[in-house]
Structure 1
Amino acid sequence: MAIDKMYIRTNAKKSLFEALEYYREIDQKLGIQLKNEIMGCLGYIYENPYMFQKRYKDIRVCFTKIFPYAIYYIVKTTPKTQKERVYILNILHTSRKSRYKE
């Protein structure tokens, strides 16, 4: 079953923007590199949503390779259309508590 849409929650966007700002202050290139890595991971999640293991109930986690970040997401099937949708719940630095935070 193909993914119909991907939604990114407000707190995930906020976390991402804060991380991008932090790395841009260090070096503009780092901010660009982080953005590219996160966007690549989001694309991979969209194409292969079941590739990553479940960590907490139905919450899956994709870890970035270069930067220490984890993308928490769920995949849901809409009852009416039977289409699958990905919901990005949060994007967190891995040094934070390992428990998913909403």
Structure 2
Amino acid sequence: MSQTGSPKAPPPAVQAALARLRERFMSGLPQRWQEIHGAPDAAAQAAVLHQLAGVAGSFGLHALGEAARAGERAVLAGDEPALAQALAQMRACLETEGVRLP
């Protein structure tokens, strides 16, 4: 029977690259927030939310991803109260991470 140990940490160069990607993602979040609110139509708004939902979890921002996914569903359903709730959750997640929003 073989034992499986804990996964090895990535090499320092990989860790540094991932840290740079996360920083770039985080610095772009205010722009994404503006894109969500300034989208010309529901399809564009849903697309930004969909992309954010998919990427957020990759950087450990699972609550943000879940809120963005809820927002996407709300937009597609035309459910304004649910969208407002999802956006409030997203704002709280972003502020918790230190992201300054306009």
TM-score computed with the length of structure 2 as normaliser: 0.29
Q: Which has the larger radius of gyration?
A: 2
Give the number of the structure with larger relative contact order, counting CA–CA contacts within 8 Å between residues 6 or more apart: 1
Which structure dedicates a bigger proportion of its chain to helix? 2
Which structure dedicates a bigger proportion of its chain to strand? 1
